[in-house]
Amino acid sequence: MSYKWTALLTVLLASFMATINSSIILISLPAIFNGIHLYPMQPDAFQYLLWILMGYGLVTATILLSIGRLADIYGRVRLFRIGFFIFMIGSVMLYLTPGTGSTGAIELILFRFVQAVGGALTMANGPAIITDVFPSSERGKALGINTVALMSGQFIGLLLGGILVTYNWRYVFLVNIPFALIGTVWAYWKMEELSFKAKKTSVDILGNVFFIGGLTSLLVGITYGLMPYEHNGVMDAMGWNSPLVRITSAIGIVLLLAFPFVERRAENPMFRFEFFKIRAFAFSNLANFMAAIARGGIMFMLILLLQGIWLPLQGYSFEDTPLWAGIYMLPLTIGFIIMGPISGMLSDKYGPRWIATTGMALVAVVFIGLAMLPYNFDYWELGILIFLMGIGNGMFSSPNSSSIMNSVPAEDRGVASGMMSTLMNSAMVLSMGLFFTIVIVGLQGTFPNAIHESFTSFASTQTAPIMQNLADQISEISPTNALFSAFLGYNPMGTILNVMDSTVVASIPQSVVDTLTSNYWFPETLQQAFMPALRVSFIIGAILSAIAALLSAMRGQHYVHELHNEIESAMKGQSFVHAIPDKIDE
């Protein structure tokens, strides 16, 4: 086997492992929370849920850039191997999690942080390794194949998660260990350090402090801003008024604003701002950033739509909705898998500009289609739309990554890959913050009124005071907790009634209790508040995708750094070799 395929196979294994880990966690959260005896209405449960979901991305976003720079100095393969090993250690720690309740949740979050460090080491170096070993005429194809591994891992993770949790929730962490072990052994045995190393220089300590400190502080502020906050005896659905959120967000913004000035004075900067003078690099990264904001939180919103509203109305029990939501999202994955390698190969031949631009334009149109869906849509409508979204994202992803990696010198591919991944992961966290805020604000404003209107239909002359009291109490419970009860596979109203005053619950007629805990009452009531906010999110997604398409079109024609340099050298020396016309065509 040619070494380039050996290296690609190893990177594919890392990509496959990482995305299995991502989707298997998402689908297994109900079983994990049950396993550590933590329930949705417990204090701080929503906080732990957010950190388990977003903590991995926060860690990777903050360290990817530093890893990319270190990889250019010390070798990409060396750090890639270490990443496999650390990921394996994190998976073992997660499998052995000893605690329960809040303690168990904190342990899971910390062990996920360890896993994230390993994932970041492989993520930052994978695209650079592929770019090192494949010629420019095949890089789009190779990166497209890597995209297939990424999306296939999501599909396999959903299936494995649904099967494994029926036996033991710990198995969802155990499944990562063989992949990580095989990857570690294979990487040490088969991979070679072929990268063009940058000269060994001092580490940009001040730049790391400003960047990691600023991004961490900002992302922590965003995360806690999504959590309920109590002040002066009043519970807000979100924490944007919290002093902690305001202080951490302000510190993060100040540090990040100061970061470019620090880097311009650094002798060996970690963030290469001069790369943004390269048109292909600058506009490809900006397009990638806007696309990641558009898609990051929206995918999660679609899952909430399926689990909280559509699937229960189709007769699925709340306990079964996590698995079925993953299955019903498969057209998105299929579209991505189909188009990822095809678009990569086409970009090798025709250049990435118009293929990637058309892909993002298609995604913008799909967002508009999603905004027009009713809450009780026919599945074929959603299936076609998300399949087309997968096609569009597949058309954009591979050519855009190839464009970024082709545009920089060989010795700087590690930092370029780190910059690309950092911007994308930061955008994904920002996206979760943006779209969660829109939906939660919408719920907080309209969900209590929807409850009161619904309860009016239950009230007779005798039960009117009881229904009014019950409606008042339910309205005071955070709609966020109710929504995430559905996400975790609990019947939301059953969960709410379990934590209410037993004397109040006992006074409710049994027919009303049966209606409240049915598959229909909560989704029908929730959709009145949820759907308008979701449509606003889809419209914003369409606007962001259209901006990404415009930025993609501005990247210019196909640009490959090493070919550009060869052609310039040949032109200066007036010595055109036979290969030059072919290189110009490329």
Query: Quick one: pLDDT at residue 573?
Result: 55
> Model confidence at 383, in pLDDT bands (50, 70, 90)?
very high
Contact assessment for residue 228 and residue 480, using Cβ atoms and an 8 Å cutoff: yes
How many domains would you assign to the chain? 3
Percent of the chain with pLDDT over 90: 17
Domain co-membership, 175 together with 225: no
Residue 109 included in any domain: yes
What would the mean pLDDT of 156-167 be, rounded to a whole number?
79
Q: Is the pLDDT of residue 268 over 80?
A: no
Residue 398 included in any domain: no
CA distance 332 to 385: 8
Query: Quick one: pLDDT at residue 553?
Result: 92
What would the mean pLDDT of 25-52 be, rounded to a whole number?
79
Mean pLDDT of the chain: 81
> Model confidence at 234, in pLDDT bands (50, 70, 90)?
low
> Model confidence at 237, in pLDDT bands (50, 70, 90)?
low
Q: Is the pLDDT of residue 585 over 50?
A: no
Return the higher-pLDDT residue of 540 and 226: 540
* Longest Cα–Cα distance in the chain: 98
CATH number at 92 reads 1.20.1250.20
Residue 68 included in any domain: yes
Query: Quick one: pLDDT at residue 366?
Result: 95
Domain co-membership, 180 together with 209: no
What would the mean pLDDT of 242-263 be, rounded to a whole number?
87
What would the mean pLDDT of 61-78 be, rounded to a whole number?
80
Q: Which DSSP state fits 519?
A: T
Give the closest residue to 492 by CA, choosing from 471, 523, 470, 469: 523
User: For the ranges 39-48, 105-114, 209-218, 568-577, which has the lowest average pLDDT?
Assistant: 568-577
List, for residues 445-502, the tens digit of each pLDDT value: 777 777 777 777 665 555 667 677 777 777 666 667 777 777 777 788 877 777 777 7
If one counts every other C-beta atom within 10 angstroms of the C-beta of residue 199, the result is 8
Of 504, 527, 550, which one is at a domain's C-terminal end? Answer: 527
Residue 215 included in any domain: yes
Domain co-membership, 210 together with 181: no
Residue 98 included in any domain: yes
Domain limits for position 226: 204-267
What would the mean pLDDT of 156-174 be, rounded to a whole number?
82
Domain co-membership, 209 together with 253: yes
CA 412 to chain centre: 26
Domain co-membership, 98 together with 138: yes
Task: Enter the tokens of residue 298.
Answer: 């929206």
Q: Compute the radius of gyration of the chain from its Cα atoms.
A: 25
Contact assessment for residue 486 and residue 316, using Cβ atoms and an 8 Å cutoff: no
Residue 238 included in any domain: yes
CA distance 301 to 537: 9
Domain co-membership, 80 together with 146: yes
What would the mean pLDDT of 304-314 be, rounded to a whole number?
89
Of 222, 245, 267, which one is at a domain's C-terminal end? Answer: 267
What would the mean pLDDT of 56-63 be, rounded to a whole number?
80
CA distance 120 to 270: 16
Query: Quick one: pLDDT at residue 580?
Result: 37
Residue 568 included in any domain: no
Contact assessment for residue 242 and residue 222, using Cβ atoms and an 8 Å cutoff: no
> Model confidence at 196, in pLDDT bands (50, 70, 90)?
low
Beta strands in 169-322 (DSSP E): 229-231, 234-236
Return the higher-pLDDT residue of 235 and 58: 58
Q: Is the pLDDT of residue 89 over 70?
A: yes
What would the mean pLDDT of 389-416 be, rounded to a whole number?
85
Of 527, 552, 580, which one is at a domain's C-terminal end? Answer: 527
Domain co-membership, 47 together with 97: yes
Residues 6+ apart with CB under 8 A from 448: 475
Domain co-membership, 117 together with 230: no
List, for residues 417-452, the tens digit of each pLDDT value: 888 888 887 888 788 778 888 887 777 777 777 777
Q: Is the pLDDT of residue 254 over 80?
A: yes
If one counts every other C-beta atom within 10 angstroms of the C-beta of residue 98, the result is 8
If one counts every other C-beta atom within 10 angstroms of the C-beta of residue 520, the result is 12
Residue 148 Cα distances to 136, 253, 336, 342, 463, angstroms: 20, 36, 7, 10, 58
Domain co-membership, 45 together with 151: yes
What would the mean pLDDT of 127-136 be, rounded to a whole number?
84
Domain co-membership, 25 together with 172: yes
Q: How many residues in total does the chain contain?
A: 586
Domain co-membership, 106 together with 233: no
> Model confidence at 561, in pLDDT bands (50, 70, 90)?
low
The letter for the amino acid at 359 is: G
Beta strands in 136-189 (DSSP E): none
Domain co-membership, 134 together with 210: no
Residue 354 included in any domain: no
> Model confidence at 391, in pLDDT bands (50, 70, 90)?
very high
User: For the ranges 104-108, 228-232, 397-401, 533-537, which has the lowest average pLDDT?
Assistant: 228-232
What are the beta bridge partners of residue 236? 229
